[in-house]
Amino acid sequence: MKTHKFFILSTFTIIFLVGITGCKKYLNEPPENRTFTEETDYTKTENMVQPLIGVYQKLNRVDEGWSDFPLISVRGDDVNAGGLGDQQDFANTDLYSYNKDYWMYNALWQDYYSYIITANSAMEQVALYKQYASNKALADQYIAEAKVLKGFWMFQLSRVWGSLPVPPNSDPTELFNVPLSTKNEIMTMVSTWMDEAIPSLPAVRPNERGDLPGGVTRYTALAIKALANLELKQYQTVADVTGEIINSGRFILEPDFYQLFKIKGKLNSENLLEMQYSDLGQGTGDNYYYLFGFFGPQGWTPKVAGAGDGWGFWEPSLKYIKFMLDRGEKTRLETSVLFTDRGILELRKDHPDLPSWISHTTPSGDIINDFAREMFVSGKHYLPSDQLTPGRTNYGTNKNFTVIRYAEILLMYAEALTQGASGAAGSADQAVNEVRARAGMPALSGVTNAQVMDEKFAELAMEWGTRFFDMVRLGDVNALSYDGRTFTMEKTFLPYPQFQVDQLPILRTK
């Protein structure tokens, strides 16, 4: 009897205890009062390209971010800050006197890191689409493209600051937990990223891409790998990688050097990477533009009346101009430099026999008037007023911003070979002479490393601080100490922006 009752009660007990486990299903109930449709539908793989276009949008930044390129590139004996009195800390940076509180430092940091975060985010987003994508190779290609651009930005940041944290994913707060990587580590990392990306990328010229014209290709990745390895002085790798680009036979130097930096240079077959802008061929309406006004002369007399002038920054250095005059350069000098009368007077002081083609009128017929901020104006950032789409007046609008071009590949190849590497794409002479020929310069034979570096100076001045970073790499402080300024190797890196130091304790350990 007793055991009977015990049995019944126990059964009850078990029913209760087991019955409650049926409630477990409620643990999967979603939260109340929210919209569930706001989430991205990753099965719509036709949208897979959108996150990648978001990354290109960062590359082709409009308006904002105009100070990034100048800060990266202002140091070196090819160019002066210009601006006279405006943005004194920018001018001081050019004089190797750095101010960690200066807004441009923080702006470059924030811009490029946020681009990198965007690239990481795009890679994560595309990966989410990939699981539903029928063309998984395309997903891999998009991820690779974002990775290449991320590598480019990380490369630029590390050249400026040296040791840095590398964001592991799209969450910016992760930066709190990331240790600093040294510049060498970062360059190695960038090189590895390129290796990871290359197999997924199309082996075409950027302007051959039908889907995303001017987008990243295998050769863009190779070029960035070469740049990173050049920083690492891994000359053999540089020779191998640039050799691969040369041997592809896909790239040619634009015969008209002057027009390479004008409308004709847009999606030119010489370009491996460029920031693209467009006024859509219309005189009014949407306009995607780079703020070239920063580089432009103040108070000019354009051939096409009404074309806007610039802010008067980015002055080619006297040292560069004299160097070019002494070499007897014409094509590259008249492309790279626009002269004012005041500048011409200054040149005449020690070059009394200045060539007659040097004039305040540009080859396109715009007149550069004297203005206080500069004696010379950057020609590579100049778009003749007669190339503006009628109706558009902003200085340089509709012009693209060249980032990496084939001439630099050829010269890196030559540099690597003259540093002792062996190459499979011809001799250093061949590479250098190809570049010289286009500039109307006589061929050389048995080029030395010094000659290659001079050639790079002549060819790539005012572009991306190439000259500065070359001289730093070679430890040539004399080249960088000019016009009264003195460079020492400890001036290589900018100080971390104070705003970032306040936020990220890891930056304080340096």
* Chain residues that interact with other proteins, rule: CB under 8 A: 5-6, 9-10, 12-13, 16-17, 20-21, 23-24, 26-33, 40, 47, 49-58, 60, 109-110, 113-114, 117-118, 121-122, 124-125, 170-173, 175-177, 207, 212-215, 266-267, 276-278, 280-281, 286, 288, 500, 502-506
For the bound state, the minimum distance from the C-beta of residue 408 to other proteins, rounded and expressed in Å, comes to 22
Q: Alpha carbon 388 to chain centroid distance?
A: 24
User: 318, 354 in Cβ contact below 8 A?
Assistant: no
For the bound state, the minimum distance from the C-beta of residue 199 to other proteins, rounded and expressed in Å, comes to 23
Q: Which two tokens stand for residue 270?
A: 């010489």
Sequence-separated (6 or more) residues with CB below 8 Å from residue 361: 367, 368
Nearer to other proteins, 48 or 197 (CB): 48
For the bound state, the minimum distance from the C-beta of residue 115 to other proteins, rounded and expressed in Å, comes to 10
Nearer to other proteins, 266 or 381 (CB): 266
Nearer to other proteins, 389 or 419 (CB): 389
User: 480, 77 in Cβ contact below 8 A?
Assistant: yes
Sequence-separated (6 or more) residues with CB below 8 Å from residue 418: 428, 447, 448, 449, 451, 452
For the bound state, the minimum distance from the C-beta of residue 185 to other proteins, rounded and expressed in Å, comes to 20
For the bound state, the minimum distance from the C-beta of residue 259 to other proteins, rounded and expressed in Å, comes to 17
User: 121, 170 in Cβ contact below 8 A?
Assistant: yes
Nearer to other proteins, 38 or 326 (CB): 38
- Give SS3 for 337: strand
- From CA 385, how far away is CA 361, in angstroms rounded? 12
For the bound state, the minimum distance from the C-beta of residue 71 to other proteins, rounded and expressed in Å, comes to 16
Nearer to other proteins, 281 or 352 (CB): 281
For the bound state, the minimum distance from the C-beta of residue 119 to other proteins, rounded and expressed in Å, comes to 10
Q: Residue 267's CB: how many other CB atoms inside 10 A?
A: 16
Would you say the C-alpha torsion 351, 355, 359, 363 has a positive or negative sign? negative
Nearer to other proteins, 124 or 476 (CB): 124
- From CA 188, how far away is CA 116, in angstroms rounded? 17
The CA angle 129-131-136, to the nearest 5 degrees, is 85
Nearer to other proteins, 212 or 344 (CB): 212
